[in-house]
Amino acid sequence: MTEYTVEFVGTGETITCSDTETILSRCLEEGIAQEYSCRVGMCLACSAEILEGEVTQPAARGLTEAEAEQYALTCMARPQSDLKLERGKYPQSIEDDVDARSSSEAATADD
């Protein structure tokens, strides 16, 4: 078991997390408010952009292969190095989906 430092950029929060535990589970143990919902790698609520470092997250079904290199689903991600993460950052596919839904809802409200 190897321990890594996980820094949440812009918050001043840092945790130590082993390569055998998820980042989310460690956050919850430390009392850090990390957003989450499904805890099975599907909803993307716990997404964080990987600014530095690497994670393993084979069960993160909500991300494409390319997105999994840029984003960590903290409910599934286990550190493989020291990390710098920015919480509240979501893959572009999710941002596009949210924008499309907002536009659709706005159009419906105008009718």
> How many domains does one find in the chain?
1
Q: What is the pLDDT along the chain (111 residues), one digit of tens a residue?
A: 899 999 999 999 999 999 999 999 999 999 998 888 988 888 889 999 999 999 999 878 888 888 889 999 999 999 999 999 999 888 876 655 545 444 444 444 555
CA-atom Rg of the chain in angstroms: 15
Return the H-helix or E-strand segment holding 86.
Answer: strand 83-87
This prediction's pTM: 0.81
Q: Which CATH number goes with the domain that contains 93?
A: 3.10.20.30
Determine the structural domain holding residue 81 and report its residue range: 3-110
